[in-house]
């Protein structure tokens, strides 16, 4: 029987989910599976999902539809509930399950980038900083908590979103807030910095001193290097781009949708061919 899955959002033409999922289907020998990419505007997700035939197994959901996806889940995964948004919908007998695989993707990518070592071993890890305070920032909080972070700074242009501060408290993290206008001298020296904002919306880096071995991670992967990554490079700091997060969130999605273990190497090779080298 033919099975269908896809990715939805607006804009959607840039999405690399088809590259990742189709590579997985090929490596797994799932010849009866196809993966689609559809433009769905804000407010239209419920109608789109209601119109899907029974042979649709799941959806990857991008902005601005993640809160709508969460609302469609009659079963909701713990991480989706905590973040307040779902990037994955999978069909089950009673309806749709909503999950957030961004947390898994980011935590796995941060581990691969050396975040555990940068944070320091033992009972008193270094603090981390998250740039931004939206839904992706909440995913970052969960990922960092999984790495043992207890103190986190939210670096924002204006004010941190109350729901993000509330999540940090629920996770038992001590959260502080600083603004771009405060300047690097007030941003501290975290072991890990995760930017969750679009390219061009990042704070300046000149004068921001990080400890040796610090990990700087940017969830952006297109148009690399971003101006932010280039500025850090001038300061002698390497920035890890976000394709690792993209890969591993899709790995979890493939498992949820197909019930099979995802072929990580095949998916990674397909993604690398699509985005090109990081340097």
Measured distance CA(94)–CA(74) in Å, rounded: 8
Hey, how many other C-beta atoms are within 10 angstroms of the C-beta on 26? Answer: 15
Cis amide bond preceding 210, omega within 30 = no
Please say if 66 is a catalytic residue: yes
* From 37, 66, 104, 161, the catalytic residue: 66
Q: Which of 101, 59, 96 is nearest to 76 (CA)?
A: 96
Q: Using CA atoms, how far apart are residues 227 and 249, in angstroms rounded to an integer?
A: 25
For every residue of the chain, DSSP letters joined together read --EEEEEEESS-TT--HHHHHHHHHHHHT-TTEEEEEEE--TT-HHHHHHT--TTEEEEEE-TT-HHHHHHH-SEE-HHHHHHT--SEEEEETTEEEEE--HHHHHHHHHHHTTHHHHH-SSSSPPPEEEE--SHHHHHHHHHHHHTT--EEEEEESS---HHHHHHHHHTT-EEEEEEGGG-GGGS---SEEEE-S-TT-SPP-TT----TT-EEEES--SSSSPHHHHHHHHTT--EE-THHHHHHHHHHHHHHHHSS---HHHHHHHHHHHH----
- Residues that are catalytic: 66
């Amino acid at each position: 029987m033919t099975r269908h899955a896809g990715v939805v959002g607006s804009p959607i033409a840039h999405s690399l989910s088809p590259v990742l999922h189709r590579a997985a289907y090929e490596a797994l020998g799932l010849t009866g599976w196809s993966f689609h990419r559809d433009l769905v505007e804000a407010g239209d997700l419920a109608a789109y999902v209601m119109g899907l035939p029974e042979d649709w197994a799941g959806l990857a959901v991008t902005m601005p539809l993640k809160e709508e996806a969460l609302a469609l889940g009659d079963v909701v995964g713990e991480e989706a509930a905590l973040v307040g948004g779902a990037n994955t919908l999978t069909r089950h007998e009673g309806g749709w399950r909503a999950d957030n695989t961004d947390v898994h993707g980011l935590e796995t990518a941060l581990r691969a980038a050396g975040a555990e070592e940068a944070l320091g071993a033992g009972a008193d890890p270094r603090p981390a900083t998250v740039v931004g305070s939206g839904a992706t920032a909440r995913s970052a909080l969960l990922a960092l908590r999984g790495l043992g972070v207890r103190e986190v700074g939210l670096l924002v242009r204006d004010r941190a979103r109350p729901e993000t501060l509330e999540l940090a408290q629920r996770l038992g993290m001590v959260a502080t807030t600083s603004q771009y206008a405060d300047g690097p001298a007030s941003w501290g020296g975290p072991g890990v910095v995760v930017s969750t904002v679009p390219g061009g919306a990042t704070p300046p880096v000149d004068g921001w001193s990080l400890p040796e071995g610090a990990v700087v991670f940017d969830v952006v992967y297109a148009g690399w290097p971003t101006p932010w990554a280039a500025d850090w490079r001038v300061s002698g700091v390497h920035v890890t781009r976000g394709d690792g997060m993209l890969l591993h969130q899709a790995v979890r999605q493939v498992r949820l949708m197909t019930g099979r273990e995802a072929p990580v190497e095949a998916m990674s090779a397909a993604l690398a061919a699509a985005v090109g080298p990081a340097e």
